[in-house]
DNA sequence: CGGAGGATGGCAAACGATTACCACGCATAG
DNA sequence: CTATGCGTGGTAATCGTTTGCCATCCTCCG
């Protein structure tokens, strides 16, 4: 397959020299030697072995990303951001989807540590109350001790540096916006129980409602389309219709829109609906939402994890979000 | 960090014995030794170094997946399938998004080879006519020569085994379905030029139209939502409205629906719309489509790539698809 | 009681790259 | 003419595992 030994033989130099020219060591090498090595390498199609290199340097040019669910566009946007900078810096991105399971997160974390990845970006669910929580933290600590840079993304439930945006404020802002449209009965379809994101967003919603002197109206939900759909069906069938419904994320909000419409309730004519995140499907469907800096989150996280100097760790960084009014909300009449 | 040497010291056995216990070698080890090693390993929190292992075995427990764009749910579903079986088999999944660039595909392929991945599933775009085509094939060949199992997924543009579904037949079937609804003027919004998937689907559409004695009506498009939206706007503004429009994929079809509606044209009342793939957003939006076995494709590919015996390579496998009528199509009146 | 042979355990050689340290040669200065 | 030192190139140790081969020891049989 072409090893340094092959090259050194072909070029008639020592392995050390070959190694030195091939990765621009500070150790000087004459132009003649250099060229011979380069030629030999080109002819042999040399590719250094990550394994051998990792064995001696202790690190591989890999950055791991652990996400909750790769099919969820929320994570896909983040992953894209990470990939972008990792690629430019010559790193490989190892994406693992934990399928919303803390145990899977731990497994992936351990595996990533075994690969001696340069760093891992932990963009997963963020359970605040989980039997495996402690074990997770331990896995994180182990990874960090072994030299990997670990960063939590979009939640802060672990004891390690993080990059986030203010989910609570985002929920507050969208609620506030809906209030400003003149709606009074505003419901909130929550995410899975015990998840950092759900908690924060629900809190933001409730705070905004309280600030407006309104009573909160919370419904159980989830993070997926179906949860919103079901909740909407339930809401439509139950008591008096709210003026507006806010979903814990875009998928849920879209589910709400569809659920409402399938029950014969026009959106936004009779009920306004809004989401949070501004993922791609939100654009599809004209959903009013709050733009979460997902891609930028990935960018930033990767930059921090892959930074040359581990010195200036900002430790905790918060990125801004932005309101995106579209067509699923309208002024109350 | 805990190496075999540490364990062997602590357990008072040789490194060889420790190694044998820890990975169930056929070489017999007494129960006493076994237990001592196991205890020591547990106490030290031992995790074998992938690098060292790879160096001697020549392989890492990694399966690479190269996709066109991770934000595209089409690929996300595939990735999920791969992850599922890879995880159960103890493999790590390394997901790379090529952002629809053949050069990026080549880079990722080379990187994956450098990691000595067990296999790589190449689920990317499939350009049929690309300046880098030959270079890509060469990278694939190199990877295979170096012992990796390479598989193309969902297209067959490279000389290596593949797992696919019949895109052409899918397009044929959905077109045929729309025809059976009584529509005559049926347009097709195509994907990016020169991509295997676009070509196949357009061909399927045209074949079905020809079989029905109808004239095809093809529009330029792309793979993303915006392409469908723009095409719809264009179609709405231009000549006589078609009875139905088929998008090269779901995202495009959804774009068409939105574009049409924003132009004041009701779907499906005035124009029926259908997509292909049955990704998650198709369910959201009630889009009539053809269910492509994306998840199963990932499952199957991973199983083949990770199979113990490289013997029974089915070489080329084709999975079935299925029509999914929903609410964006209706019978012609 | 001698020996065959299975059951166990250890030694040491890889695997491929990095890098500290050494050696040689030649130029320049004293 | 010798000492100093920089510019270059090589030697070899090292990283952590796997594994072929060898050494023991014990058991069972003739």
Block means of pLDDT (10 residues each) for chain B, length 333 residues?
A: 89 94 90 93 92 94 93 91 92 89 89 93 79 88 91 84 94 98 98 92 98 97 95 94 97 96 94 96 92 96 83 74 97 90
Give the pLDDT of residue A156: 75
Give the pLDDT of residue A312: 55
- What single DSSP character describes residue A178? H
Give the pLDDT of residue B132: 85
Give the pLDDT of residue B278: 96
CATH for the B167-292 domain, from 3.60.15.10, 3.20.20.70, 3.30.930.10, 3.40.50.2300: 3.40.50.2300
B59-165+294-320 and B167-292, same CATH topology: yes
Strand D contacts in B 43-82 (CB under 7 A): 46-49, 51-53, 55-57
pLDDT of A251 above 90: yes
Spacing of A56 CA from D13 C1' in Å: 11
Using CA atoms, how far residue A24 sits from A17, A34, A306, B28, in Å, is 10, 10, 20, 47
Domain spans of chain B, in order of start: 4-48, 59-165+294-320, 167-292
> What's domain A59-165+294-320's superfamily in CATH?
Response regulator (3.40.50.2300)
Q: What confidence tier does A14 reach under pLDDT thresholds 50, 70, 90?
A: very high
Give the pLDDT of residue B311: 52
CB contact under 8 Å between A71 and B80, yes or no, is yes
How close does chain A come to B211, measured CA to CA in Å? 33
pLDDT of A285 above 60: yes
Asked if the peptide bond before residue A268 counts as cis, ω within 30 degrees of 0, the response is yes
What sections of chain A are H helices per DSSP? Answer: 4-11, 15-22, 31-44, 50-57, 73-88, 102-114, 133-145, 167-180, 196-211, 225-237, 250-262, 280-285, 294-306
pLDDT of A84 above 70: yes
From the list B55, B92, B254, the residue facing A94 with the nearest CB is B92
| Smallest CA–C1' distance to D6, residue | A28
Give the pLDDT of residue B14: 93
Give the pLDDT of residue B60: 94
Nucleotide with C1' nearest the B47 CA: D16
Average pLDDT on A245-261 reads: 96
Nucleotide with C1' nearest the B114 CA: C16
Give the pLDDT of residue B194: 87
- Percent above pLDDT 90 for chain A: 75
pLDDT of A311 above 60: no
Q: Is A236 on the interface with B (CB under 8 A)?
A: no
CB contact under 8 Å between A280 and B47, yes or no, is no
A189 versus B72: which is more confidently predicted?
A: A189
Nearest to A282 by CA among A270, A274, A272: A274
Spacing of B5 CA from D23 C1' in Å: 22
Residue written as tokens 């399927």? B204
Q: Is A225 on the interface with B (CB under 8 A)?
A: yes
Give the pLDDT of residue A227: 96
The answer to whether the C-beta of A55 is closer than 7 A to strand C is yes
Cβ-Cβ contacts under 8 Å between A and B: the total is 139
Preferred mutation among B51, B138, B141, B281 to probe A, highest tally of A CBs within 10 A: B51
The answer to whether the C-beta of A55 is closer than 7 A to strand D is yes
Find, in chain A, the residue whose alpha carbon is nearest to that of B1: A146
Q: What confidence tier does A310 reach under pLDDT thresholds 50, 70, 90?
A: low
CB contact under 8 Å between A280 and B95, yes or no, is no
Give the pLDDT of residue B166: 95
Spacing of B57 CA from D21 C1' in Å: 19
Per-state percent for chain B, helix, strand, coil, to nearest 5: 45, 15, 35
CB contact under 8 Å between B95 and A70, yes or no, is yes
Give the pLDDT of residue B316: 80
Distance from the first to the final alpha carbon of chain A: 73
- Please answer whether residues A163 and A300 qualify as being in contact, where contact means their C-beta atoms are separated by less than 8 angstroms: yes
Using CA atoms, how far residue B86 sits from A112, A135, A155, B119, in Å, is 15, 23, 27, 11
Give the pLDDT of residue A200: 95
Chain A residues within 8 A of B267 when measuring between CB atoms: none
d(CA B204, CA B188): 11
Chain A residues within 8 A of B71 when measuring between CB atoms: 73, 76-77, 80, 280
């Amino acid at each position: 397959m072409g090893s340094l030994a092959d090259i050194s033989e072909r070029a008639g130099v020592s392995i050390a020299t070959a190694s030195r020219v091939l990765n621009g060591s500070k150790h000087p090498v004459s132009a003649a030697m250099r060229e011979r090595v380069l030629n030999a390498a080109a002819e042999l199609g040399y590719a250094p072995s990550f394994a051998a290199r990792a064995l001696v340097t202790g690190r591989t040019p890999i950055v791991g990303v652990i996400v909750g669910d790769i099919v969820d566009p929320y994570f896909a946007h983040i992953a894209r951001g990470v990939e972008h900078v990792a690629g430019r810096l010559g790193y490989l991105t190892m994406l693992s989807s934990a399928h919303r399971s803390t145990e899977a997160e731990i497994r992936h974390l351990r595996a990533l540590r075994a690969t001696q990845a340069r760093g891992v970006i932990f963009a997963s669910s963020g359970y605040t109350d989980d039997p495996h929580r402690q074990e997770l933290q331990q896995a994180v600590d182990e990874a960090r001790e072994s030299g990997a840079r670990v960063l939590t993304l979009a939640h802060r439930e672990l004891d390690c540096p993080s990059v986030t945006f203010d989910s609570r404020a985002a929920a507050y802002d969208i609620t506030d916006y809906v209030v400003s449209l003149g709606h009074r009965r505003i419901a909130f379809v929550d995410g899975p129980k015990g998840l950092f994101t759900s908690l924060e967003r629900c809190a933001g919603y409730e705070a905004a409602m309280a600030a407006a002197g309104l009573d909160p109206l919370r419904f159980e939900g989830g993070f997926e389309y179906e949860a919103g759909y079901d909740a909407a069906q339930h809401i439509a069938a139950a008591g008096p219709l709210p003026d507006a419904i806010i979903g814990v994320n875009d998928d849920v909000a879209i589910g709400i829109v569809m659920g409402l419409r399938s029950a014969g309730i026009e959106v936004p004519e009779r009920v306004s609906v809004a989401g949070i995140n501004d993922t791609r499907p939100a654009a599809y469907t004209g959903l009013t939402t709050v733009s979460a800096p997902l891609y930028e989150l990935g960018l930033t996280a990767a930059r921090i994890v892959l930074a040359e100097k581990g010195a200036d760790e900002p430790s905790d960084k918060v990125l801004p979000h932005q309101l995106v009014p579209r067509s699923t909300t309208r002024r109350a009449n």
